[in-house]
Amino acid sequence: MVRKLRSWNNNLIPNLLIQTFKPQSNSFFCTKTLSLPFSSTPPPQSTILRNQIIDIRDPKISVIPVLEKWVGDGRAIWKPELQYLVYLTKNFRRFNHALEISQWMTDRRYLSLSASDAALRLDLIHSVHGLEHAENYFNSISTRLKTSNVYGSLLSCYVREKSVEKAEAIMQEMRKMGIANTSFAYNVLINLYAQIGQHEKIDLLIEEMKMKGIPQDIYSIRNLCAAYVAKTDISGMEKILKRIEEDSEFKADWRIYSIAANGYLTAGLETEALSMLNKMEKKIRPNTNKLAFEFLLSLYERTGHKNEVYRVWNTFKPLTRQTRVPYALMITSLAKLDDIEGAERIFQEWESKCTVYDFRVLNRLLVAYCRKGLLDKAEWVVNQAVVGRTPFASTWSLLATGYAEYGHMSKAVEMLKKAMLVGRQNWKPKRRDILEACLDYLEKQGDAETMEEIVRLCKSSGTVAKEMYYRLLRTSIAGGKPVLSILEQMKMDGFAADEEVDKILGSKTNL
């Protein structure tokens, strides 16, 4: 049963390289963002209000009371300030809060929406509520506001969903309206076609841009280069690289070299990859680009050159703030290079300096421990960390997965219950099979009591499924326990009795 669990280490904590660009898109594909309705630097607003908003980290807690109290106390707040707060919370990936502020800006302050405001709100609605709600919002927007920005925002939503037909349809509508006249929409579609492997359509888009006189910008070129990488066409990638280095219209930056390095590494050409990494490093300006540092670190880890990983870390770390991301990435990189002791040192350094304890950093070390079967160490470090703190559900879930992988199922069940107790609404293990493995184990053990506890926890989090009740019925009947209360609970939860229930009940002697 335990061996049914697949290799889990890479799935639980995705490489940061895949997370640093837009969510749900390929890591190396990028598009120029829609223009902001204001400068990305904060207006002269109250630092107190900004900090009060930022301090609310739980997405379930509304930021509206903070705004209401601010104006209720007679303090002014201007539209640029609210726009900046929307931008800031979105940048922190707190989409729910960003959407709340955007809606409060018009619903309570009666400030008019610009097309850029509407485009950003549409994007936030998609992130918070999904595509259907985003489409409904788009349909409700006045014709006056339906500019290229708003259409481009909807197009981006379709690309993130990989909805090819809808993306192509909205692009065709933009063509008819004459607003597909910049590189943005084309870059977004190039992104989509590269992700789904329809490379022939990329060539058609490039030809269309040439016919319409739409110049390729740096984003188009990067996407083309990344498209060649995606289909392991090194020759095509090198042509793009040569063009960008020789054409004065373009400025070769660290991103293009990171794409090329990734292409060479994917093709197994280490020497060429190292050459690109050397060029990439020279393009990174000190103290200005943490993201470039993170990419560089990840790419060097893929070369297997541990000394270079440490060199990059020691070179760039003093130039960055002591945030969790570089430390988490370094821990993962060293773990992949089989340097557990080094990963421990980096974790201890972060732990000694952090002002806000982020369990996501600890989780990286847990993955390393569990991969090596160092389960005692993993549990010990968690027990130390949770003193006076509430861990993430994912922290306990990682331990549960590690114990299950090595056949310690009673411990796996214990850790899974701890995860479910601290999990937020609708939380479920990232690895669905860990829940299945624990339920399998409890059913074979005939432990209906513990299984009922897990079902109850699933119900509390809103993730209970009918199949769980099937298991609970089978386990209870096998142990000679009455099941009438289970059947009643099923009915209360909206699960009607069906053929499977009748089959499990059999003679119904245990009702």
270-296 pLDDT, tens digit each: 999 999 999 999 998 766 667 889 899
* Secondary structure (DSSP) of 204-265: HHHHHHHHHT----HHHHHHHHHHHHHTT-HHHHHHHHHHHHH-TTS---HHHHHHHHHHHH
Tell me if 168 is assigned to some domain: no
- 424-475 pLDDT, tens per residue? 877 888 887 899 999 999 999 999 999 999 999 998 888 888 999 999 999 9
Q: Which of 336, 362, 383 is the last residue of a domain?
A: 383
174-207: per-residue pLDDT in tens? 999 999 988 899 999 988 998 888 888 988 998 9
Same domain, 294 and 378: yes
305 and 339 within one domain: yes
Same domain as 218, residue 306: no
Q: Looking at the structure, do residues 241 and 265 belong to the same domain, yes or no?
A: yes
In a domain, 141, yes or no: no
Q: Sign of torsion, CA 243 245 248 251?
A: positive
Is residue 478 in some structural domain? Answer: no
Decide if 115 is inside a domain: no
Say whether both 265 and 213 belong to one domain: yes
Category of 504 on φ-ψ map: left (φ > 0), alpha (ψ -120 to 50) or beta: alpha
**pTM above 0.85?**
no
- The domain spanning residue 309 has which CATH number? 1.25.40
Cα-based distances in Å from 53 to 41, 63, 86: 17, 6, 10
Same domain, 262 and 317: no
Domain count, the chain: 2
User: Does 375 lie in the same domain as 295?
Assistant: yes
Structural domain includes residue 256:
yes
Indicate the residue type of 127.
Answer: S
Residues 264 and 276 in one domain: yes
Q: Are 269 and 301 members of one domain?
A: no
For residue range 40-87, what is the model confidence (pLDDT) as tens digits?
454 545 688 888 998 887 777 899 999 999 988 888 888 889 999 999
Indicate whether 299 belongs to any domain: yes
Q: Is residue 133 part of a domain?
A: no
Asked if residue 369 has pLDDT above 50, the reply is yes
| Tens-place pLDDT, residues 100-129 | 999 999 988 778 889 999 999 999 999 999
Only one residue has tokens 């860990």, namely: 434
Q: Please name the residue that has the structure tokens 């359509």.
A: 201
C-alpha triplet 133, 34, 164: angle, nearest 5°: 55
Both 310 and 273 in a single domain?
Answer: no
Domain that holds residue 240: 197-283
Question: Do 248 and 306 fall within a single domain?
Answer: no
Tokens for 265, please give them. 């590494």
Do 369 and 380 meet the contact criterion of CB atoms below 8 Å apart? Answer: no
Q: Which of 233, 249, 283 is the last residue of a domain?
A: 283
Alpha helices in 93-147 (DSSP H): 95-107, 115-129, 131-140
Task: Establish if 234 belongs to a structural domain.
Answer: yes
Residue 9 reports pLDDT greater than 80: no
Domain termination site, one of 383, 405, 437: 383
Minimal CA–CA distance to 504: which of 463, 493, 486? 486
